[in-house]
Structures are given as structure tokens and as C-alpha cells.
Amino acid sequence: MSIELWFLLIGFLMLSRGLGSRYLLRLPFTPAIVYLAVGLLLGPTILNLFYFDPVKQSSVLEMLTEIAVLISLFSAGVKMPVPVQIADWQAPLRLASISMVVTVSLIAACAYIVLKLPLGACVLLGAVLAPTDPVLAADTQSRYPGDKDQLRFTLTCEAGMNDGAAFPFVMLGLGLLGLHDLGDTGWRWLVVDVVWATAVAIGIGVLSGVAIGKLVWRLRGANAEHDVLDDLVGLGLIAIVYGLSEVLQAWGFLAVFFAAVALRHTELKLARAIGVKPEQLGAGVAEPVVAGDDSGAATPPIVSGEALVFKEHLERLSELMLVLLVGGMLFLDYWNWQSVSLAVFVFVVARPVSVAIGLIGTQTSWRVRGIAGWFGVRGIGSVYYLMYAIQHGLPEALARELTYLTLIVITLSIVVHGTSVKPLLNLLWRRHGK
């Protein structure tokens, strides 16, 4: 398609999404299914009006998906309940660690036994498909900062962490393929890619979030005397944290999520110190609210709340663009027994089993465990990891094989999870009287 037609198509979809947001909420499926359908219609599957080659355009797609995931991770982080308590985070921490390892192992075993792929490619495929997606899983995630719903908190927190937790396994797969130095007996992978990169990422995120939270609060003062552009501060925090993580060879996705969590935690802690209640500092507070202390001081808006609305708008735009491109990458011959059976295995075996194992010994209800075991949405994060691997020298033949397998899993996840999320969540809330 010409650039003019692209402008018309994207503009029409954006306009329809904006004007019809209320009606889309009433549909029994998610908006991502609409974008996917348009991509399939216009792409090589049906009309063949455009084709986006993910292997040849892997550098462009890597950048687009990287930005989308970073914005989504920041949005997820500022929605986390505060103050942060380890007891509340036990379930998502287990999902992002124990369940991640189990998921990668199960998918790798399936790929090795059934698909006959090389061991390194099997591990890489497991790492690509293991993380749940923070971009496409909006309907199952926390609806606002401090959302106390256990299921939504668990899924949001897991998605925020496991995009970073998958990176060591991506590097392990690349190393087994001879594209990354693992060190003798894997020592370098364990020390650098697992321990160092994870610990430093969390440290960078927490320290940066706390520092920016305190700096903005001090600049504004108790009466919001200093004007601060919250959207740019939020974007700047993302960029600095991610860039610093890359320089120090840490996992930037993990750092950005924890920076957002620390920012929200710091701002609410400072607000409480002058008598402001947490509910007065939700997202989208346009004007300062009056504090509950004797002085009657006005509390300035906070970065984590004010920037969230803007980030969510960017998130919707990236979802539209990237899911449309996913539809435009698919050919009919991608739909074969290998790709479909892999998707079924991921949804029906790998995800439920890994969640069940990861949550052993926790206080998580069986209802939440069951629904969490089903809603492991795969999406934009998986595309990013695959493009990252291709950019690190993945042979073209293997790259194309992993690409069609990944795209079919993502496509089926959008359809299957996108049509089941609203009925299942509505059923859960009705039973709980919500």
C-alpha cells in the first residue's frame, strides 16, 4: 500500500477506536481482535494489499515493540498497590520466577520432541513465548492505581516482571546456538545474565523511581508552586532508566517496571506525610486536592498519576499499530499442525501447569489460580524477543521458522483469550458480588 493509504487506514482505525470506545466496551471481545481482523483482511492471508516482512524489517519491528513494551511496563508499575509488601507480592513473584522457568522448560521440551528443533532454538522459542504480554492483556490487568482485585493485581504484576525475567533464557538460547558467550560450563550466563543483570536492573529502577519522586515533590512544594510536565517526566524516567540499564548490561524492562513502582510508592509516602489520603492521588487528578491536615495545604498532582493517562493512550496506539502488522505478516501456509499444536500446548498445558506449580504453598484462591492459568496472553513482548534474537544473528531459515510459529501462537492467543476474557471475568465478579 502507498503511504497515503496507510495514513487513511491508521487514521480511520484511530478515529473509530476513539469515537466508538463506549460501544467497543460492550462487545464480547477485545479491540485487538478488530485490528487483527483488518490486518488479516488486507495482508497476504486474504487481499494481499500489503505484507510486512518481520525478518527483513526486524530492526524496525524490534524498535517499535521495544517502545510499546516499555510504555506498558511503566503503566503497569504505577498501578501497583502501595505500600509495597512482600507478602502481597508472593504470588506474582513466584509466577515471574518459578512459573517462568517451568514454562520455558515445557515449551522447549515440546519443541525438541515434537517439532524437532535444535536445542538452542527450543530454549529460545520457550523464552520468546513464556512471558505474558503487558500490552495486549489490558482487560485482565489492574484498572487503576491501587486496584485491590487479587486476580488483576497478580496478572499485572506478573506481566510487569516476567518480560524482564525472560531475558536470561533468550540469552541462553542464543548461547546454545553459538550467538552469545555463555562462558565455560555456563558460568558467565549465570553470573552476568541472571544474577548481575537482574539485581542491577531492580536496583536502578528502585533508586531512580525514588529519586525522581522526591525531586518532583521538592520542586513543586506543598502548594504546587513549580509547574512540572508530568508526561515528559514519566517518559524521561523511562528513557534514563532503560538507557542506564543497557549501559550496565542489566535488564531494562525489569528496571522500568520497578522504577514505576518505586515512583508511585515514594509519591504516596510523601503525600501521607502531610496528611493526604491515597485515594486522593489516583490517576488523572487534574487539580491539586486539599490535604487533610490542619494547614489546609494543597497537594500537587503526582507524576505517577498524571502521566498514566497519557501512557495508556500511547499504549492503545501501539496496540493498534502492532496488532495490525501482526495480521499483515501471516500467510495461509503458516497455519499447519506444528504451529497450531504448539499454540494449544502453550495454552492448555504449559501455562496452566506452570501457574499451578508456581503457586504451590501460597494463599491464592483456586478460582484465581484457575483463571490466571488460562489468561497467559502472548503478544507484543514475544515479537520483541524474537526480533531481538534475529538482530543478534539468528540464521534466516531458523528465524523464519520461529517467526511463523510465534505469530500463530500470538494470533490464536489474541482470538482465544480476547473472546474469553470478558465472559470469564464477568462470571468471577458476579460470584463475588463486584
Q: Which tops the pLDDT comparison, 373 or 137?
A: 373
Higher pLDDT, 110 or 72: 110
Burial of residue 274, with CB atoms counted within 10 A of its CB: 0-12 exposed, 13-18 middle, 19 or more buried? middle
Angstrom distance (rounded) from CA 154 to CA 108: 25
Which cell is 238 given? 523511562
Mean pLDDT, to the nearest integer, of 212-240?
A: 79
Residue in 359, 380, 314, 367 with CA at minimum distance from that of residue 132: 380
Q: Give pLDDT, residue 152.
A: 82
Per DSSP, the three-state class of 392 is: coil
Instruction: Name which residue leads in pLDDT, 324 or 275.
Output: 324
pTM of the entire structure? 0.89
Is 60 exceeded by the pLDDT of residue 57? yes
State the pLDDT confidence band at 285, using cuts at 50, 70 and 90.
very low
The yes-or-no verdict on residue 20 having pLDDT over 90 is: no
State the average pLDDT over residues 358-385.
Answer: 88
Q: With 70 as the cut, is the pLDDT of residue 60 above it?
A: yes
| Single-letter residue type at 317 | L
pLDDT for 283 equals 45
- Give mean pLDDT, residues 208-231: 77
CA pair distance 255, 320, nearest whole angstrom: 26
Residues above pLDDT 70, as percent of the chain:
86
Q: What is the mean pLDDT of the segment spanning 151-177? A: 91
Label residue 56 by pLDDT band (50, 70, 90): very high
Mean pLDDT for the stretch of residues 388-396: 96
In the predicted model, what is the mean pLDDT of residues 398-405?
A: 97
User: Residue 115 — pLDDT band, cuts 50, 70, 90?
Assistant: very high
- Kindly report, residue by residue over 320-348, the tens digit of the pLDDT: 999 999 999 999 999 999 999 999 999 99
Q: Residue 421 pLDDT > 60, yes or no?
A: yes
pLDDT of residue 393 exceeding 70: yes
Residue 67: all three cell numbers together: 517502545
Give the pLDDT confidence score for residue 175 in this predicted structure.
97
d(CA 165, CA 359): 17
Please report the pLDDT score of residue 293 as a whole number: 41
Residue 290, pLDDT score:
39
User: Residue 302 pLDDT > 80, yes or no?
Assistant: no
Angstrom distances, CA of residue 263 to CA of 144, 154, 240: 15, 20, 14
pLDDT at 304: 67
pLDDT at 125 over 90: yes
Q: Which of 73-87, 150-164, 188-202, 352-366 has the highest mean pLDDT?
A: 188-202
What percentage of the chain has pLDDT greater than the value 90?
53
The secondary structure of 75-125 as a DSSP string is HHHHTS-SS--TTTTHHHHHHHHHHHHHHHHHHHHHHHHTS---HHHHHHH
Q: Cell numbers for 368, please give them.
A: 484465581
Average pLDDT over the chain, rounded to whole? 86
Q: Sign of dihedral through CA atoms 159, 161, 163, 168?
A: negative
pLDDT at position 153 is 85
Is a pLDDT exceeding 60 seen at residue 430?
no
How confident is the model at residue 113, as a pLDDT?
96
